[in-house]
Chains A and B, each alone.
Chain A
Amino acid sequence: MATTTATLTLASTDLLSDTLSMTTSATLTTAGTSTGVTQTTGLGRKTTTFDSSGVIDTVVLFRADDYSADGANKIYLKNTSTTAAEFFTVFLTGDRATDVHGNADPGLTELGRLYAGDWAFFPWNATGGTKEQFTVTFANTWAAGDTFTFDGITVVAADSTVNNIAAQVDAAQYPNWVTSVSGAVVTFVSRYSNASLEVDTSEAVSVTAGDGTGAVATTVEGTRSVSDIYIKPSVHTAMTLEHMLIHQ
């Protein structure tokens, strides 16, 4: 068990008529326990640059799908800029269909702006969406040398047995999908939540000399992730955000 401590000190001699001096420490634990969190992304930096101010866009910092939903995750962010007017806007991807908060970024919920030198430390529930799923069922007559191509990967059948071909397809590694196999049926699950995926036989292509088929059927419709962390710089020239995620 690791012991990680986050301490905040707030101080001011002149904000109020009395001195403000407050220190609090939290030992970071997993959800609902006294066990210390054991995982971190480490301290990192991300520099954003765009060609011009007109093309500034959001950048994904953390994808909820990569972490435990509802875990006791904590995010540290710091804008390292020294130019007072430069800020990063920090967003959660929204869970609503339309923008209800009046800004120009429908689908995003704005948390706040980190101006030069500002830092933030906050909990993150990391609730992803639903990952798209589909199956490919291999049937009829296949032959050695027939191919199945999907997501940029081509699998060449070693023999004519559909169960063996399905096993070959499952054994391949796909950039955007993970797989499992049962008999002649391979199940593909997208690595990330996404509401815009729809796979059919024009993307999952079977080429056979005979009448072999690889029927595609969507089994789970994907939905968008609802709490990815996005950032957006205020200027197109280089700005650097320091970040660390501590998670369970």
Chain B
Amino acid sequence: MATTATLTLTSADIAGDPVNVSKTTTCTKAGGTIDLDQSTGMNRIILRESTNKLLLGATAGGNDLSAKVYLINKATDPTQFVTVTINAQTIGKLYAGDWMFLPWSQTDTSADIEVAATSYTTAGGSIPIEYCLFHEDSIRLADA
């Protein structure tokens, strides 16, 4: 079930010498070498909310298990950004084309990941985003 994530970070001119970082990780369950075996699959939504909306709800069963969040802002207008928060605290802003790949502890059910198209108004500013969760916990389905 091996899932690999590779980061390649390059710049010829941000420093006096070129930056060329390439790292690959195999996504495993917490504290071991067993591969992560679950995923939400790739999701796409059009974000039309200037206030925080739930993207991924933390589950108590996921507390301190391994989980990786991939999120990308697919807007092409450089002024359009998505504010990403965890536990109601801002992590940062993803500008057009920016992506993130972040471990997620789900320390408790307050550790939700939320997003907002902060500059959205009814006149415009909706932002397409794509996201995917790779995870270990098996109780992500809501009770029927």
Give residues in A with beta carbon < 8 Å to B: 2-16, 20, 22, 24, 26-29, 31-34, 36-40, 42-43, 70, 72-74, 76, 78, 84-85, 87, 89-90, 92, 94-96, 100-103, 109-115, 117-125, 127, 226-227, 244, 246
Q: Which residues of B contact A24 (CB under 8 A)?
A: 72, 99
**20 further interface pairs, Cβ-Cβ under 8 Å (given A84-B31, A87-B30, A101-B111):** A4-B14, A7-B8, A9-B4, A10-B5, A13-B2, A15-B1, A20-B39, A22-B42, A31-B93, A36-B14, A39-B14, A85-B32, A87-B31, A103-B108, A109-B89, A119-B5, A119-B7, A121-B9, A124-B92, A244-B9
Residue of B nearest to A119 (CB): B23
- Tell me the total A-B contact number using a CB cutoff of 8 A: 209
Q: List 22 A-B contacts (CB under 8 A).
A: A3-B14, A4-B19, A5-B9, A6-B8, A6-B99, A15-B3, A16-B41, A26-B98, A37-B14, A42-B15, A100-B87, A101-B108, A101-B110, A112-B67, A112-B104, A115-B28, A117-B25, A121-B100, A122-B84, A123-B91, A123-B100, A127-B90
Residues of B contacting A9 in the complex (Cβ-Cβ under 8 angstroms): 4-6, 8
Interface residues of B (CB under 8 A from A): 1-15, 19, 21, 23, 25-26, 28, 30-33, 35-37, 39, 41-42, 64, 66-67, 70, 72, 78-79, 81, 84, 86-87, 89-95, 97-105, 107-108, 110-111, 132, 134
